[in-house]
Chains A and B, each alone.
Chain A
Amino acid sequence: MTTLAFAILLMASLAGYALNRRAATGIRDGGARLHSVSNYHGLYALLLMLVPVIVVILIWLVLQGPVVNAMVMSALPAGTMDGLDTGQVDLILAEIRSISGGRIFGKPDPWKLAAAEHLADLRQLAALSLVLLTALLCLAIMCFARQKVTAEFRARQAVERIISGLMIFCSVVAIFTTVGIVTSLAFETYEFLRLVPLSEFLFGLNWEPQIPIRADQIAAAGAFGWIPVILGTIVITLVAIVIAVPIGLLSAIYLFEFAPKRIRAVAKPLLEILAGVPTVVYGFFAILVVAPAIRSFGASMGISVAPNTALAAGSVMGIMLVPFISSFADDALSAVPRAMRDGALALGATRAEMVLNVLFPAAIPGIVGGALLAVSRAIGETMIVVMAAGLMANLTLNPLESVTTVTVQIVTLLIGDTSFDNPKTLAAFALGMMLFLVTLVINIFALRIVRKYREAYD
């Protein structure tokens, strides 16, 4: 039935479009000068119908369920619901619903059967009224839109207003999602900070996020200092950037300036495939190839290396970021005007000198912006580190030791049965909040630089 309603709406709006268009064309053929071309008159009818009626249908569908339920409940024989809590009421409702759906278990009470029948009737009625309502609304709007068609009617402006309204709506959705995420984070973080003091969280050097299971358990009170965790993130991010920036940059420069056409045609798409590899797969690579390689190399040098090292996770993450950096560098390099390159070449600079002295300095702000964005991606990256870095928070800057990161901790804190009244679970939100703030600052910084650089040649 809902499908029918949508079908009616679609047909009606197309009909409205045709109707208005023809009417407008008729006016024009009659010799009058239309303010807007007839297409806009048609679009006006179409949008005027499509947008509000879809909204009405959606609202109807959302409200239908609760309203029908309430009606069924209020029609039950008096006294059946007395003294039941909401859980039991829901249970009865679910039973009634499954009976009306034809799934009857055992021998239900007769009043339940009656209620189920009532529910089915009500549903039918609701669907029918939805279709009727849609048809009526469409008809009304069609008449309204049709009567609007005159030579002077500014259909183009009206259509543009509706469309810009839609666009505003979409951007508002995006903004509100962000706001929603941040508020939910902020709320839980506030809860966390009521249990653990802010100073301990920010400056504590220990991260042992456990809670006592029994009240008399010894030495089980957790420690919630985020320093070791963020230190782990910093170490891994540093390793990743140290690997990604030179490789990404040099490969971009090579492909941009030196590579023969044929190599470029093959290598660029290959690099982009690298960007499309799921991070889980990078995680496998880190565990199965990189970590053992680092370990055995360390052993051959006589250095003891932990099985899960920051180096393994960070270097694989660095590989993941290579296409990111190189595509940013490529954009930055191609934004340098050709005149600049010609100027250097005409002075007798070799290509390498030209790249080094002219292209590269001119592209640096863009490259730095890209690198900063890569940093915030590395900080937020979860899968690779969950798989390849450790779980123990270690207060160390040594990349050959096992460290843990903010994202790994968030994952482990929220795995399994969790209740939202203890610091262990809430700590995940506090970490998330800090992560959000850090990446936000880095992103703002990066975007500033990128924007400044865009203005450089205009």
Chain B
Amino acid sequence: MDDLRAITRDVDINATKISARRVQVHYGDTHAIKNVDVDIKERTVTAFIGPSGCGKSTFLRCINRMNDTIDICRVQGDIRIDSDDIYDRKVDPVQLRARVGMVFQKPNPFPKSIYDNVAYGPKIHGLARSKADMDEIVERSLRRGAIWDEVKDRLHAPGTGLSGGQQQRLCIARAVATDPEVLLMDEPCSALDPIATAQVEELIDTLREKYTVVIVTHSMQQAARVSQKTAFFHLGSLVEYSDTDEIFTNPKDRRTESYISGRIG
């Protein structure tokens, strides 16, 4: 892997945004996450890699409590964002999800207009005081999603009419519209062609200025290109977690080494 340019940016000065301790997740009898401890840094892109079924999505979904929507799913352990326990009784998952945005593997715009797609989050959380306010939020979010120039003339066309890459950037714009602190992305490029992927990757790199980004990916190149920290999961356990260039050039664990050199997974 010669093209893995090590991104040597000093991220350790950043504070910890999310800290997970002894996290266990069960789906019925399936033990999907086993005792995971991890500290995710603020304003950093953290990549989760690992073979299929190792629990990357499951762990990601613990961070915005999307697992609550699955009946058989049980989450134990301690996850804190800015040292607030997000599984505390007092925490309303609905409010949490406004702070922790999520982008899915398949672009899933609502069958509404582009404008309404982006405005949906701010509307339900009451973030805009006026129509002009909302217009501004929509424009800012679409700009952050790097899609403003492509859609500014057809804001009221249906969001489902965009191309796959545009839809995914629209979904990113929709997620940042509620002004979250954390952005979770579950294989955001797996349904996209190389050009759209490059656009989204570029976008992720700029999102880092403002947000804490966690991205699940199956592409090692992508992890190396966009992330500063990488966590390698295997069979539900967090095997190795360190700086991305460290993981790719000098993995500590044999399993990590065999995965990134293509022997398992």
Contacts and interface: CB of A to CB of B under 8 A. Distances in A.
A349 B66 contact: no
| Interface bin, chain B | 20 to 34
A342 B175 CA distance: 12
B124 A346 contact: no
A347 B125 CA distance: 9
B171 A348 contact: no
Nearest to A338: B108
B244 to A, nearest CB: 26
Contacts of A275: none
A345 B66 contact: yes
Contacts, number: 63
Contact of B120 (A342, A347, A350, A362): A347
B212 to A, nearest CB: 16
Interface string A328-371: 00000000010110111111111001000110011000000000
Nearest to B66: A346
Contact of B98 (A343, A347, A357): A347
A362 B158 CA distance: 13
B108 A358 contact: no
Contact of A340 (B66, B96, B110, B178): B110
B66 A342 contact: yes
Contacts of B64: 346
A347 B101 contact: yes
A49 B101 CA distance: 68
Q: Which of A261, A343, A344, A347 has the most CB of B within 10 A?
A: A347
A219 interface: no
B117 to A, nearest CB: 9
Contact of A347 (B69, B71, B106, B175): B175
A275 to B, nearest CB: 27
A350 B171 CA distance: 19
Interface in B55-77: 64, 66, 69, 71
B104 A339 contact: yes
Contact of B124 (A337, A339, A342, A349): A349
A456 interface: yes
Contact of A361 (B96, B108, B111): B111
Given A261-B71, A350-B94, A357-B120, A344 B66 contact: no
A342 B178 CA distance: 16
A144 to B, nearest CB: 58
B45 interface: no
Contacts of B169: none
Contact of A344 (B101, B106, B110, B178): B110
Contacts of A358: 110
B234 interface: no
A455 to B, nearest CB: 12
B157 to A, nearest CB: 16
B130 interface: no
A361 B174 CA distance: 19
A361 B111 CA distance: 8
Contacts of A348: 94-98, 121, 124-125, 178
A326 B119 CA distance: 31
A349 B121 CA distance: 8
Contacts of B124: 347-350, 353, 357
Contact of B178 (A347, A350, A353): A347
A327 B112 CA distance: 25
Given A261-B71, A353-B124, A343 B108 contact: yes
A351 to B, nearest CB: 9
Interface string B106-118: 1011111000000
Interface in B117-157: 120-121, 124-125
Nearest to A345: B69
B111 A343 contact: no
B37 to A, nearest CB: 25
B97 A346 contact: yes
Q: Which of A337, A340, A342 has the most CB of B within 10 A?
A: A342
Nearest to B125: A348
A456 B111 contact: yes
Contacts of B109: 343
Interface in A351-396: 353, 357-358, 361-362
B43 to A, nearest CB: 21
A143 B112 CA distance: 68
A362 B112 CA distance: 9
Interface string A446-458: 0000000000100
A349 B177 CA distance: 13
Given A342-B69, A348-B98, A337 B120 contact: no
Contact of B106 (A339, A345, A353, A456): A339
B102 A346 contact: yes
A435 B120 CA distance: 45
Interface string A188-209: 0000000000000000000000
A345 B104 CA distance: 12
3 shortest interchain CB distances as A-B pairs:
A348-B98, A348-B97, A339-B108
10 contacts: A337-B108, A339-B104, A342-B108, A345-B97, A347-B98, A347-B101, A347-B121, A347-B174, A348-B96, A357-B124
Given A345-B97, A348-B121, 19 more contacts: A343-B108, A343-B109, A343-B110, A346-B101, A346-B102, A347-B97, A347-B98, A347-B101, A347-B120, A348-B94, A348-B98, A348-B125, A349-B120, A349-B124, A357-B110, A357-B120, A358-B110, A362-B110, A362-B111
